[in-house]
Structure 1
Amino acid sequence: MRVAFAGTPAFAATALAAIAAAGWPVTLVLTQPDRPAGRGLQPRPSPVKVLAMQHGWPVAQPRGLRLDGRWAEDAAAARSALEAARPDVLVVAAYGLILPRWVLQWPRLGCLNIHASLLPRWRGAAPIQRAIEAGDTQTGITLMLMDEGLDTGDIVAMEALPIGPQESAGSLQGRLADLGARLVVQALRMAESAPLPRRPQPAEGVTYAHKIDKAEAALDWHAPAAVLARRVRAFDPVPGAMTTLDGTVLKVWAARAESAPPQGAPGEVLAADDAGIRVQTGDGVLVLTEVQRAGGRRLTVRDFLRGAALTPGARLGTAA
């Protein structure tokens, strides 16, 4: 069975590595164009492209796939590459481009998507972050045969995974990547000898995981502490929750919520010691335990306070 793959981040590279380890020939890899990254903003290949280059697989990086769209020339080149690759199945994981009908109809076994939620909950671009932000206690992986809708295809396989009470998006993504890799290998083995099982998604319980906007990273101290603590975990590592201290950006990488009667205005520092920076919120106290100044590195509050004087009454951010 000949496999083509479409994906971009590390989450997708985990599945691609598992497919290769299982022995299927990878005849084409589609991934996003190289993006500027790092302090020098030099073009950097995606984790999927890095893996493909290591194995010597053909790579295509179209900016779009619509044959009649802005990037029609890129799309036509990608179509030629797909025709030359002759895949039986296209596995898709966090690719970042919408697949038009001509792609969906090309592989004889269809396009098999690895989606990081229990569909139909959290269709869309940011299912891992939105699940944590919403306070879900479990998520999982759904394998689906793609159609032209937004994550609306028939379910092939599904497995749940608990979300830890202090789990960040980064750690959860790693566990989901491993689960997705295992499930897709199982499905491909099944597809070699029989049609994949499929069932429609339930009509009830649909939610949408909208793409994370950088503006969401700013902590609104009028919000409840429990909501802010979930947002800190959901936005670790990208884009990173933030506030301001003395007019400069302060990233917040770890925090916990505590119930307490109001002792100050939202955003006011109530105490700052080795145990954490206690900040008043709209409901309860948010205790910051790991932070980062602009241009610095992530520090425990204990280490941060060695180089920063922070006294009760100081204000963080601008309460919305």
Structure 2
Amino acid sequence: MRIIYAGTPEFAVPALQGLMDAGHEIVMVLTQPDRPSGRGMQLKASPVKQLALKHDLQVFQPESLKPAEVQADIAATNADVLIVAAYGLIIPTAVLNIPKVGCYNIHGSLLPRWRGAAPIHRAILTGDTETGVTIMEVVPKLDAGNMISKWATPITEADTTQTLHDAISREGARLMVAAMHTLQTSGQLASEVQNEALVTYAHKLEKSESAIDWTQSAVQLSRQVRAFNPFPVATAKFKDQVCKLWFAQVAESSAVITDAAHGAGSIVQIQPLLVACGDGILELQELQMPGGKRQTAQQFVHGQHVQIGDRFF
């Protein structure tokens, strides 16, 4: 089929590759304009654009899809389908009406749970036991279209937003390729209406959410650290410097330590690196000090000359 593909970050790369591998004709790639990146703030192409250019695909990067001339350029592709994956711009109804067959989206949650911008992060933060991906029809209302297919996976204590992102991106690509095969061969896709009573919204992450509050439980802080890996990364102050916490888990029950005698944020054991919380003990496993690289807890302990009784704030 003739497909317009709208996507921007790494999440959207596997599906574009999968659709090309399946033999579909990508008549246009919509992706956000190049943005400044890195210390030099040089303009950098999105991961989707980089893949598209490798395959000599037509790339279109408007700031908005609302202007009539932009919509005319999209209509000129004579596309059958528009596929969306983390594109990042509002798609007007006029654009949704352009493809002959329909518009479909890869959404990183098990809809109707977690519509919105940060579904993977919010699923971990809230303590959901599973997440996944949904292939859905695109409609003007945010993430409200009928559901075509789903893939689910448990959320384990070892999962971060990064690990789940990678799995969801891969499986979302597989489901979308399968959906397009069905659409091409049968001319239609069965779908299920979302139950509006079960809808939750995954609001965009704010950097202010990254600061650790040690008076919270170890369970909640583990979720926060894992949800904010790789962005925006949970932070705590150590020796008056902002330390990034990349990975942490609730300490195993075998650690014979009680936090009653220690203030929240106090280091109660060095190997492994255990910190008292408002309820329970958190084991820090990967950290990063300003100007340094990500380190294991033991590298951090040696490099910072950590002692029992030192505190994170």
Pairwise TM-score range, normalised by the shorter structure: over 0.9
1:100 pairs with 2:92: yes
AA aligned opposite 1:50:
Q
2:142 is matched with which residue?
150
1:272 is matched with which residue?
270
Which of 300, 307, 314 in structure 1 is aligned with 2:296? Answer: 300
Q: Would the aligned equivalents of 1:263 and 1:280 in 2 still touch at CA under 8 Å? A: no
AA aligned opposite 2:44:
R
2:110 is matched with which residue?
118
Q: Would the aligned equivalents of 2:219 and 2:250 in 1 still touch at CA under 8 Å? A: yes
Question: CA 1:265–1:57 in structure 2 vs 1: closer, same or farther (change >3 Å)?
Answer: same
AA aligned opposite 1:176:
I
CA distance in 1, matches of 2:11, 2:207: 21
AA aligned opposite 2:263:
A
AA aligned opposite 1:300:
T
1:59 is matched with which residue?
59
TM-score w.r.t. structure 1 length?
0.92
Gaps of 5+ in 2: none
CA distance in 1, matches of 2:122, 2:48: 24
CA distance in 2, matches of 1:302, 1:311: 12
CA distance in 1, matches of 2:117, 2:56: 29
Report 1:191-202 matches (<5 A).
191-192=183-184, 193-202=186-195
1:241 pairs with 2:239: no
SS at match of 1:51: helix
Q: Would the aligned equivalents of 2:133 and 2:151 in 1 still touch at CA under 8 Å? A: yes
CA distance in 2, matches of 1:12, 1:158: 17
- How far apart are 1:247 and its partner, in Å? 1.8
CA distance in 1, matches of 2:230, 2:260: 30
1:282 is matched with which residue?
278
Which of 90, 94, 97 in structure 1 is aligned with 2:82? Answer: 90
Question: CA 1:263–1:287 in structure 2 vs 1: closer, same or farther (change >3 Å)?
Answer: farther
CA distance in 2, matches of 1:208, 1:262: 37
1:19 pairs with 2:12: no
Tell me whether 130-139 or 12-21 shows the greater mean CA deviation: 130-139
Gaps of 5+ in 1: 68-75
Report 1:35-50 matches (<5 A).
35-50=35-50
TM-score w.r.t. structure 2 length?
0.94
Q: Would the aligned equivalents of 1:253 and 1:291 in 2 still touch at CA under 8 Å? A: yes
CA distance in 2, matches of 1:201, 1:130: 19
SS at match of 1:141: strand
CA distance in 1, matches of 2:120, 2:167: 11
- How far apart are 1:314 and its partner, in Å? 2.1
Report 1:158-173 matches (<5 A).
158-173=150-165
1:71 is matched with which residue?
none
Identity of aligned residues (%): 45
- How far apart are 1:159 and its partner, in Å? 2.1
AA aligned opposite 2:189:
L
- How far apart are 1:77 and its partner, in Å? 4.4
1:220-265, Cα deviation, whole Å (9 max, x unpaired): 1111110000111111111111111122110111111136442322
Question: CA 1:44–1:263 in structure 2 vs 1: closer, same or farther (change >3 Å)?
Answer: farther
CA distance in 2, matches of 1:13, 1:27: 16
CA distance in 2, matches of 1:263, 1:77: 68
CA distance in 1, matches of 2:285, 2:156: 18
CA distance in 2, matches of 1:81, 1:58: 11
Q: Would the aligned equivalents of 1:93 and 1:115 in 2 still touch at CA under 8 Å? A: yes
CA distance in 2, matches of 1:252, 1:316: 11
List structure 1 runs of 4+ shifted beyond 4 angstroms: none
Tell me whether 217-226 or 196-205 shows the greater mean CA deviation: 196-205
SS at match of 1:85: coil
Q: Note the aligned Cα RMSD (angstroms).
A: 1.4
- How far apart are 1:123 and its partner, in Å? 0.4
